[in-house]
Structure 1
Amino acid sequence: MPAEARAPRRGSVVWRYFGDARNMLLGPPLLVLQTAHPVVGAGVLQHSNYREEPWQRLVRTYLSLSTVIYGGQRGAERESARLRRLHETIKGVDDQGRRYHALNPEAYLWVHATLVQGAVDAHRIFGRPLTDAQIAEYYADMRQVGLLLGLREHHLPADWASFRAYYDERVLNRLEDNQAVWDVIDSVRHLKKPLRVIPDVVWRPVGGAAGRLAHLVTVGALPEVMRDRLGLTWSPEQERRLRRLARVVRATMAVVPRPLRIAGGVGAARVTTALADREERKRRTERQQQTEKDDRQPASAHAG
């Protein structure tokens, strides 16, 4: 990790916008874009339990991202290191005979890029678009997040204009139609119960309505070239429905104080940081106890 890589500062554009609750609405289309990358898609198919536990995976991802953005320098560095250790074992050969590794910088950068673009798109659709000055600051800080995650300077586009050119080129030439993409789309259409205790009779209408809305947002938020590649239709009526939903979300969030919009992310980071600190203290105590035990053994053996 480069020595200069820094976590987002409190009050920065990234701090104010990345963890906004509206960004959760774009989780499904971001998953589609991520898994459309052949390396990511193969890794998800062969190493993930996303289909069986979509909600648990969503929570883990949310906690991880929140820690990187809102966990301070120490929390961000620790979580970034954990993510890299986690991805070290995700490798194999895909169904087309191509070898892959999750830490391939090109694939790792693409996942980061979808998150960078996702927050911008969420505010464009469901809020107020970021100004040019805000986007410039936002991208500069998200570039630092990329460095924290283990990417190198030469991997990351230098500025927002370069990033947009990179992003459009990847969508056009690198992403593909694969099984992992359709697994995500199917899981969005047919949302599983987040908790088993919810009765089927309750979840059926609620989950059905939520799934239809999630599918609408997923298809509507995808780049047009990606919709065409996947054969997903987008009609004027669907566009009107998405705009109506966006107006409702915008009006609702307008009365929510800004600190509360990111409260979930900040709170999640505090929880994960506290748990990680506790685990670290536990490991230190265990190492100290083992060292003391080892130090006592020679004396005991000599006395015997």
Structure 2
Amino acid sequence: MASQAFRELASEGVLLLGGARAILLQVADPVVGAGVAAHSDFANRPVHRLDATLRYVYAVVLGDEQAAAEAPRHVNRAHTPVRGASDPERQRWVAATLYDTAVQVQERLGGPIPHPLAEEMLREYAALGTRLRMPAELWPGDRAAFAAYWEGSLAGLEVGEDARRIAQDLLHPSHPPLALRLALPLVRLVTAGLLPPALRAAYGLPWDARRARRYERTMNAIAVVNRLLPRRVRSWPARRYLAGRGLSGRSRGASTGR
């Protein structure tokens, strides 16, 4: 059973800052990019993929056994016509982007994750792949193995036309809801800042010394505000998905603290 420390970390709403970063990493794999481009409508439904991903992640990582078992069935049905979606290697890559993004955001805002907790986090995030069709042995056994896998995978990415079109629709949607329209400048800045430099350049995302300073100031401000918020506020997105979407967290202990 996952520790309380892990459940608290995984329920931090601030991790959502990395959502677009994870998607752009995913679709930089040409097979994933082609599948998403053919079956996702970012232009007209800019938050749909993120919403579906959050439903799955919270169910598997923080939900009870029933929710964790049911969520993959929904994903597998949705993925039936999608090229490459059932490929264990691609499932490993998608799970890896979610794990690495969570680590990057948490460490940027809260400092280094203690080694035992980081290793537990790696083990728990494996379920995002193994609950689908990824064999358990494909998942890196420790953080050193993950780092080697990650660096090798980054070297093989290719930002093609599908990935660039998805990035455009994701970061510059045509008709976003008002709340998203107001948030998009922040999303674009944080996404560019969190991406590996080579990938940021491949996507053609604007970046210079001025933007880098603004990114650092913004992340520092978010870190300060996040530390001041009660845990109940910080965990609101997780509680919304676990309760509002019918994904009970009782047996997995998805406590959100005070």
Smaller-chain TM-score range? 0.7 to 0.9
The answer for the alignment partner of 1:234 in structure 2 is 207
Answering whether residue 223 of structure 2 is matched by residue 250 of structure 1, we say yes
The answer for the alignment partner of 2:246 in structure 1 is 273
Q: Mark the CA change 1:176 to 1:274 in structure 2 (over 3 Å): closer, same or farther.
A: closer
Answering whether residue 123 of structure 2 is matched by residue 131 of structure 1, we say no
Moved over 6 A (4+): none
The answer for the alignment partner of 1:217 in structure 2 is 190
Answering whether residue 147 of structure 2 is matched by residue 155 of structure 1, we say no
| 2:20–2:187 contact (8 Å) kept in structure 1 | yes
Q: Which has the larger radius of gyration?
A: 1
The answer for the alignment partner of 2:168 in structure 1 is 186
The answer for the alignment partner of 2:256 in structure 1 is none
Higher relative contact order (CA 8 A, sep 6+): 2
- TM-score, with length taken from structure 1: 0.74
The one-letter amino acid of 2:220's match is: R
The one-letter amino acid of 2:144's match is: A
- TM-score, with length taken from structure 2: 0.86
The answer for the alignment partner of 2:96 in structure 1 is 113
CA distance in 1: counterparts of 2:48 and 2:82, whole angstroms:
19
- Measured after TM superposition, the shift of residue 10 of structure 1 is 6.3
In structure 1, list runs of 5 or more residues that go unmatched.
Answer: 1-7, 92-100, 276-304
The answer for the alignment partner of 2:2 in structure 1 is 9
- Measured after TM superposition, the shift of residue 30 of structure 1 is 1.0
- Give the 5 Å matches for 1:88-99: 88-91=80-83
| 1:102–1:108 contact (8 Å) kept in structure 2 | yes
| 1:26–1:221 contact (8 Å) kept in structure 2 | yes
SS of 2:240 mapped into structure 1: helix
CA RMSD of aligned residues (A): 2.3
SS of 1:130 mapped into structure 2: coil
| 1:25–1:214 contact (8 Å) kept in structure 2 | yes
What is the percentage of aligned positions where both structures have the same residue?
Answer: 27
- Measured after TM superposition, the shift of residue 188 of structure 1 is 4.3
CA distance in 2: counterparts of 1:112 and 1:179, whole angstroms:
23
